[in-house]
Structures are given as C-alpha cells and as structure tokens.
Amino acid sequence: MESRLLSLTFALFLLGGCSARVVTVSPGPLIRVEGQPVSIRCDVNEYGGPREQDFEWEMSRDANGAKIKIISTFDTSYSHQSVSKRVASGDISVVRLKDNEAELKIAEVKALDAGFYWCQTPSTDSVISGNYEAQVQLTVIPNTLKVSPQTPPPSVPEGSDLTLTCNVTRELTYPTYLSVTWLVKKGTASEEILTFGPQGDVATGAKFARRYADGGIRLVPGKNGAFELVISRVTTSDEGIYECNGTEWAHETGGKWIKIVESTKEMGTVAVTPTGRSLSVKASSSSSSSSSSSSSSSLLSPGDTLTLLCSVAADNLAAVTPEVTWLADGREIITMERSGVVASNGSGTQGRRGEASLERTGAGEYRLAVRAVSGEDGGLYACRVRAFIEKGGRSSGGGGRWHMAAEKTSGPVTVKVSEIKPSFTLNLKASQNPQMTAEPTELACHVTNITQLPPGGRLGISWEHTPLPGIGDDPQTSHTIASLDGNGNLSPGSMYAERLKSGVLSLSRVQPNTFKLRFLRTQEIDMGQYVCNVSSWSVNSQGVLLRTAVHESSPLTVRWDTKRPSLNVVAKRIREASVGGATFEMSCSVATENVGDAGYSVLIQSQDSLDSNVRTIMTLSPDNVMQHGGATDPNRRDSLVLTKSGPAEFRFRLAGVQLSDRGFYWCDITAWTKQQPGQTWTRATSSESNKVRIDFQENGPSFSIAIQSDASSVYPWETAKMECSLSVSGSSPKTDDLAYEVNWFFTRLRGGQTTTQVASVDRFGVVRKVDRNSSSDISIERKDTHTYLLNIFGTQDSDSGEYHCIATPWYLSASTGAWTEAGELMSSRIFLTVKFAVWDSLKLPLLYGAAASLGVGLFSLVFGLVCAQCCCRNTTHTPRSRNKLMDLEMD
C-alpha cells in the first residue's frame, strides 16, 4: 500500500514538472517616430520558482549581429557602456508592472535605437523547459508630420456657414496612417467636434453628434492632405478658439492601432454676430388713395384701401426665416408664418371690419393691405418680425430644429380715417319712479336732433348702472345692464343676465328713437345712477353694419326712502304636556311690515336650558317642504308634525313627550319674496319668537297584587286553581305598554320557612316549570292583562301547603320612551288541603275482594260438580240387591 502511494506522488510530480516557460513581448515589427516615447512590454508565464521574475534586455542592430546589454531588473551594472549614460539619466528605463511582467521604456527614441530587442528571463525552473527569451524589431522613422490650418474669419453672422480648413501631411516611408481632428476651445477646456481617420471613419464629440446627424456639420475631404469642416447655420454658442489636430498612426500585428505622433495647431478665434444686432424693421405707409402720405402717418377716407410696407434688413438675411406680424394698437391683426402661410387673427381684429391681406413683395419686403377701411380701422400700426434660424443643416431636408434668434418691432405708423359722424341729443327720464322696494321702475331714453345719419343708418343702445354709496359691493364701479346693437341683438351684462332671462328686467325699443328699461320689481341694489349710451350704425361699401358714433346721456339718479322690512313672531302654547306621554302643541303667528307678498320658512328650535346648545327640530321651506332636523330621533319622526295652519300661522305638535323633550321651544321664521312666480326666493328678513317651555315631573304608575283560590281543600286527583290578580293606579299605561313577570312559590308547612319555586312566566309570556317529586302537573294561564291562573292537575297529598305569587311589573315609560321595571310585589299566602277519605279509600279494595271471593267459590262448586259427573260415575247397570239394608248403605 505504501509503495502505491509513493508511485502516485512521483507521477503527479512529474506531471507538474511538464509545464514549459513562455516569454512573450509586444508583437512587431514596431514602427515609432524619432523623438517620441517607446514602450516594449515583456511577460513570462508557466514558470517555476518564486512568483517575482527578473528581466534582462539586449539589442542588436542586425538580427545576427552582436548584442548589446541594455538594462536588467536585478543587476544595476548590467548596462553596456554605450547606453549606461542614457540608463543613468532615465532616458532608458525598465518598469515592473507585475511579478511576471515588465516594460522597457525609451523616453525619446533615436534613429540609432532601431534594431532587434531581446527580453530574457533568468531561469528559476527546476527543469529547463520552454523559451527564456523573446525578440521584437523596432523601426524608427523621422518625424515628417505637418499640420497647416487656414485661419478662419474672425467674425461670422449668425445663421451663416463656417468653413474650417486644415492640411495634414507626412512623408510616406513606412506604412503609416493619418487622422485629423477639429476642436473648439471655450475657456480652458477643449471640446472635440469631429475626427476623420485613421481608417476613414468619422467620430463626433458628444455635444455635436446630433448636429452632425442632422447635417449641421459636414466633412469635405480635399486633395494633398487638405480637409474642410463646414459648420452650417452657426449660432452664438459656436463662438470660441478653433484648433486642428493631426495624428500619425501605425497598424501593428493583431489589428491594434498605435498613435505614434500627433500635432495640434490653433486655427484662430471666431466670433458670431447675433442677428438681433443687425436686424432692422421699418414700417411705412403707401396708401392707394390718401390725401396726405408720409412714412409715419396716413390719412384715409372711409372705403379707401390702406397699404403699409414692412422692410426687413439683416447682415445674414439669407440665412434668416422671418415671421412677420402686423399690429394695430398693439393687437395682432394678421401674420405670415415662417412657412409662408398667412393667418388672420380674428380675436385680435374684433371691431375692425376692414378685410386685411399680407404678401411678400421682395427680399425683406412685406405689404399689408386693408380694403374698405372705416373709422374703426384707424390707430397705430406696427410691424413685428421674429427671425428664426434652422439648427439642422441644409441636407436634412428642412426637418431641422428652429430657434428664434431675434425679435424686433418697427416704429408705429399713424392711420386716420376721416369721416363725418352722426350727431344727436339724448334725454333720459324716469317714466315710472318707485316709492318703495318691490315697486316697478321704468326709464325712457329719447333720441332727438338726429343729423348726419346716412340712409339705412340705425341706432343701438347700452344701459349702465352705478350703485349708490353704501349699496352693492363696489359703488364706484359702473356695470353694464344690457345693450342692443344696430340689428337689435340683445347682449346682457354678466350681473343682469339671469334677471333678463327670467323677464324681471326688460329692454325695448318702443319707437325708432325711444328706448326703455323696465324693472318689474325694483330691489335696493337697483338704486343708483343710470346712463344710456346710444350708438349710431351704418352700412359700409361691403354691406357690413358698422358702429360710427356713440353718445352718452346725463346720469339719472333713481332712489327712494327705504323702509326696512320687519317681522314679529309670537309663539303660544295650544296644548300643554303636564305628564310624560302627553301631546305638546304650540302655534307661531307672524306679523310683517314693508314685506309685501312673502313666503315664510320656519325653523322649530329648542334647547334644554337658556345656556345650552340650540337644536333644530324641524324645518319648513317657503315652498312648504318639511324636513327633520339633525337633532330629531329617527324613531320618533312620526310623533312630530309641523303644518301651516293659516296665511301667517304655523303649528308644531309633539306627541308622546318624554323627559328628554323638556326644555324651551320657539320658532325662527324668515320672510322670502319673489320677483315673479317661478323665480327663486329672495330673503327679506327674519325673526325669532318667544320661547315656550315644556316642564313636567315623572310620576310612574302604582301596582298592587292579590291571590285567591276557588277552593281551599280538594280531594286527591282533583284540579286546584289559584288566581294571582294585579291592579294599576295612577298614570295607567296602555295595555300594549304593560307586562308582568310572575313567579309562584310553595311552602309545605303552614308558616314554614322552606319555600320552593313552582313555576314562572316572564314578561314575554314564556312559561318555565320547576322539576317536582310529585305525580301532579301544573300550568300557568294568563286570563287577561292583569290576571294569571295557576292550575294543579291530579293533586296529591304532597301538594298540600301554602302558595303565594311574586310579580314584577314592566311598563313603557311615556317620559323616557323605554321599558321601566317597577318594584317587586308579593301576595299573601293561601293554604291548599288535599283531603284523605277512609271509606273512599277502602270501598274499592273491599268490593274488589268480595267479588274475587264470590267468583272463586262459584268456580270451585262448578268445578266439583263437573268432576263428579264426568269422572266418578259407573256406567254399568247393577241390579238392586235384595238386601235393602245393603243397598241403602251403598247409596
């Protein structure tokens, strides 16, 4: 067994010793530029011995030439004298990267450094196996890379294109490749814009990727190393210092690209001139028919055509897409969008009846035309231009992103339309003046001395009201009641729309020159000053009815001595509740002043004491809709009644009063008025009545009990009956509101103390019997509300003794509304005797015994005769003996 283990251990040792050392260096040949740093890595694997390995570097000009020792990781005197100074100065060094990896570094490679390099690792293996050195060739070429950028323009207009030209070349002695990169420097950091090469591919910086995808950045390769980068539609964010970077690359074995030399040159600083700095907008007039014309004003006659020009100029006008809008008194009237679509702003031209059009007549020239002008078209006109620049390139097919570069508005052009306005005089009078609230009011506005009203002209009116101080929310504000235009269309004011719709307020034209305003029922808020504004309307050349003039009348004050409505409510008791369960009833009478025809809402309220919280019992609306208040018990709502017993009288009834109903009761009545039937109620005034009190003491009923029996003694097996009677005095409750619990007790000895319960019946009528050591049976019978009967069937001697009943009355209290238990009542005792009759006890046994004896005797006699006749007689004939004496003996 031991020999087998030794053999296995030796075999595993030999298997582990089969691994071979592998030394590798960077794949070559390595092409590097003179004066640039060079790094050659070397690593060793599959080795034995310590983890940390040492490295030695040698080189030779030729593959088979003499080797020169360069540097070692463990021997400081290893270097050849020809390179010892460079090693000492650090120009040549070795850096350990890992235990099994090191790197040879040459800070500035020279042409004489070209040749073959060997990396050697001294053996630490127990068995020499594998390779202990690796070779790589280093080729050193001269630095012929040249970067020659062209200086860009120092300033470019916003929206124009910026071309950045850079020339990158080198002498092609070995297979190397070039790349060119454009950068922009803002502050201290440089951002990469775009890189071309070395494989012919394009890479963009993170901030310029979308712009390149949209075509906003384009690369234009040229000849002889010339490259152009075009940035389309520059914005102010493109300002900065632009740089050009040229890089020479080597493609080593394994597909790895190595940057061998690069050069960066500053191209120059580029500033972007904002569009707003050079953008100019000018509006001028050029009316087709005007009595005077200038660049800042225009005078027209009604029906003329207004023509205004908007001139737009900018340094980069070709790169700008404008949006042109004409404004009249600050309101937009028409807009030409950047797509060329013209849109008329209807909401901005409200009241302007001229037909407007806008067209582009040339580069930066836009013409506004308003045909058939009227007086409403006069005002200050201005041209507003918003300059947009597309961020996407021209190759993106117009799908780029737009941003507004600038916005400017021209100076105003004054447009006046001369016309002869109609003239007339207004006279406002009150044809019906109210003397108190709720009376009708009528105002008449007469138009006289009408001149200059053209044929077909019409009149319209607008009524305005200003409340008196102290009435309304804001007495200084004038409110429009309603207006009638030239076509007779009614436009109500917001505060009066509901009253106009309901017909309480009306506007009318009774004659062509007379207008009336009528209130059917005037309210206090209607007091104040009234003004009628009469407007003249005429038809223009296009058949449109336009307002030409407005005249305002002198204010007319409407007021009266206000008599405040008053309300007096008196409550009186109709039925007094002196005991619980009784009915309480009170009436509330209303007396009014200065109210007129009114409806009343009633609140029945109560409180336990004068300092306690107020509860609402019931409510009655002006439309006689009754509702229960939150303080009403849902189970007692049928006991509450609130009715209108007269035009101004109400009655409240509470049936079955309880202790919880004690307190003070009164009516809270509000008077309401209506402008006319079908309208909503308006509150006039309210008042509370005097308080009526419910106060009584709880006096429950009195009960008594008695017991009696139909017989004081009975014979055995007879039925004994005992009656327990109760009576009520005082406030006797109803039959359905009364119940008893009755218990029957039995005492065997007269005057004894040992009492046992016989049976019971609870107030719900459930009978319970107690187990007894007797053959008799019992039952309890309720004869009427107050009488209970105990029956003992088949009485026995054990049923003799004293009997009494105990009753507990229960009644439904009218004061509390709950079942109440009265005191327990015990009756007197009655004695029941079960007699013992001797003859009655013996006659049956004696009769049964005599009958049994007689029967047995008769049976014995008959049985003897039968036996004598049938069993003892001799049937053979015997002759009589002669001897008579003998015969007699025999007989």
Radius of gyration of the chain (CA): 65
Burial pattern 452-461, b for ≥16 Cβ within 10 A else e, equals: ebeeebbbbb
Are the C-beta atoms of residues 194 and 219 closer than 8 Å to each other? yes
Q: Which residue has the higher pLDDT, 601 or 123?
A: 601
DSSP for residue 222: -
Mean pLDDT of 592-601: 83
| Distances from the Cα of 798 to the Cα of 139, 774, 836, angstroms | 143, 7, 12
For residue 126, pLDDT beyond 50: yes
The phi, psi pair for 706, rounded to 5°, reads -150, 155
Predicted confidence at residue 289, as pLDDT, reads: 39
Q: Distance (Å, rounded) from C-alpha 211 to C-alpha 415? A: 47
Query: In CATH terms, is domain 566-694 a member of 3.30.1360.120?
Result: no
Does residue 342 have a pLDDT over 60?
Answer: yes
pLDDT in tens, 46-61: 888 888 889 999 999 8
Residue 777's pLDDT is: 85
Tell me the backbone φ, ψ of residue 374, rounded to 5 degrees.
-135, -175
pLDDT at 743 over 80: yes
User: 10: which DSSP letter?
Assistant: H
pLDDT surpasses 80 at 492 = yes
CATH numeric code, 19-141 = 2.60.40.10
User: CA torsion sign, 204 to 207 to 210 to 216?
Assistant: negative
Task: Find out whether 659 and 816 touch, Cβ atoms under 8 Å.
Answer: yes
Would you say residue 620 has pLDDT above 70? yes
pLDDT range class, residue 888, cuts 50, 70, 90: very low
User: Pairing state of beta strands 682-688 and 777-784?
Assistant: unpaired
Q: Which residue has the higher pLDDT, 885 or 325?
A: 325
Compute the distance between CA of residue 845 and CA of residue 150 in angstroms, rounded to an integer: 160
Contact 496, 518 (CB under 8 A): no
pLDDT at 741: 92
| CA dist., res. 584 & res. 639, Å (int) | 10
Q: pLDDT-based confidence at 164, cuts 50/70/90? A: very high
pLDDT at residue 752, as a whole number = 64
| CA dist., res. 326 & res. 329, Å (int) | 10
* Total residues belonging to the chain: 891
Q: Which of 797, 791, 769 is nearest to 719 (CA)?
A: 791
Out of 540-544, 691-695, 720-724, least confident range:
540-544
For 643-655, the pLDDT digits (tens) are: 999 989 999 999 8
Amino acid at 787: T
Q: What is the DSSP-derived secondary structure letter of residue 136? A: E
pLDDT exceeds 80 at position 394: no
Across the range 386-395, mean pLDDT stands at 71
**Could you tell me whether strands 423-432 and 413-417 are parallel, antiparallel, or unpaired per DSSP bridges?**
unpaired
In CATH terms, the fold of domain 423-556 is: Immunoglobulin-like (2.60.40)
CATH of segment(s) 276-288+295-344+354-417: 2.60.40.10
**Mean pLDDT for the chain overall:** 83
Residue 150 is given by DSSP the state P
Give residue for tokens 């459930």.
766
Residue 358: CB partners within 8 Å, gap ≥ 6?
Answer: 324, 326, 334, 335, 336, 342, 366, 367, 368, 369
pLDDT at position 399 is 53
* Statement: residue 601 has pLDDT above 90: yes
Q: What is the pLDDT of residues 416-454, one digit of tens each?
A: 887 777 888 999 999 998 887 778 899 999 999 888 787
Q: How many other CB atoms sit within 10 Å of the CB of residue 514?
A: 16
Categorise residue 495: left if φ over 0, alpha if ψ from -120 to 50, beta otherwise. Answer: alpha
- Whether the CB-CB separation of 459 and 472 falls below 8 Å is answered with no
Contacts of 49 (CB under 8 A, 6+ apart): 124, 125, 126
| 230 touches 236 (CB < 8 A) | no
- Decide if pLDDT at 354 tops 60: yes
Strand order in the sheet with 257-273: 155-157, 257-273, 240-251, 176-186, 189-196, 202-204
Lowest mean pLDDT among 105-114, 668-677, 803-812: 668-677
Q: Which amino acid is at 684?
A: A
CATH number of 702-834: 2.60.40.10
Task: Give the 3-state secondary structure of residue 760.
Answer: strand
From residue 412, give the alpha-carbon distance in Å to each of 285, 287, 313, 333: 10, 15, 18, 14
CB 321 within 8 A of CB 392: no
Nearest alpha carbon to residue 486 among 510, 515, 509, 459: 459
Per-residue confidence (pLDDT) for residue 473, from 0 to 100: 56
DSSP 316-338: TGGG-EEEEEEEETTEEEEEE-T
CATH architecture, domain 145-273 = Sandwich (2.60)
CATH 2.60.40.10 boundaries in the chain: 19-141, 145-273, 276-288+295-344+354-417, 423-556, 566-694, 702-834
- pLDDT tens digits, one per residue of 182-240: 999 988 888 999 999 888 889 999 989 988 988 889 988 777 778 889 988 888 888 99
Residue 1 CB neighbours (<10 A): 4
Averaged pLDDT for residues 588-596 = 86
What's the pLDDT at 568? 92
The pTM of the full predicted model, rounded to 2 decimals, is 0.45
Q: What is the pLDDT of residue 576?
A: 87
197 token code pair: 């090469």
What is the predicted pLDDT for the residue at 704?
87
Show Cβ contacts of residue 587 under 8 Å, excluding neighbours closer than 6 positions: 571, 572, 574, 645, 649, 650, 651, 652
Q: Are 302 and 419 in contact (CB under 8 A)?
A: yes
pLDDT at residue number 472 = 57
Residue, of 289 and 405, whose pLDDT is higher: 405
What span, in angstroms and rounded, lies between the C-alpha atoms of 366 and 667?
Answer: 79
Tell me how far apart the alpha carbons of residues 335 and 342 are, in angstroms, rounded to a whole number: 6
Give the containing element (helix H, strand E) for 388: strand 379-390
pLDDT at 294 over 50: no
Q: How confident is the model at residue 690 (pLDDT cuts 50, 70, 90)?
A: very high
Secondary structure E strands in 437-494? 441-451, 458-467, 479-484, 490-492
Determine how β-strand 155-157 pairs with β-strand 257-273: parallel
**With left for phi above 0 and alpha for psi between -120 and 50, is residue 240 left, alpha or beta?**
left
Region 367-386 average pLDDT: 86
The encoded tokens of residue 253 equal 């074995």
Q: Could you give the percent of the chain with pLDDT greater than 90?
A: 29
pLDDT given for residue 288 in this prediction: 40
What's the number of CA atoms in the CB half-sphere (13 Å) around residue 484?
A: 20
Percent of the chain with pLDDT over 70: 89
609/2 Cα distance (integer angstroms): 115
Which residues does 772 contact at the CB level (< 8 Å), separation at least 6? 758, 778
Q: CA-to-CA distance for 110 and 36, rounded, in angstroms?
A: 9
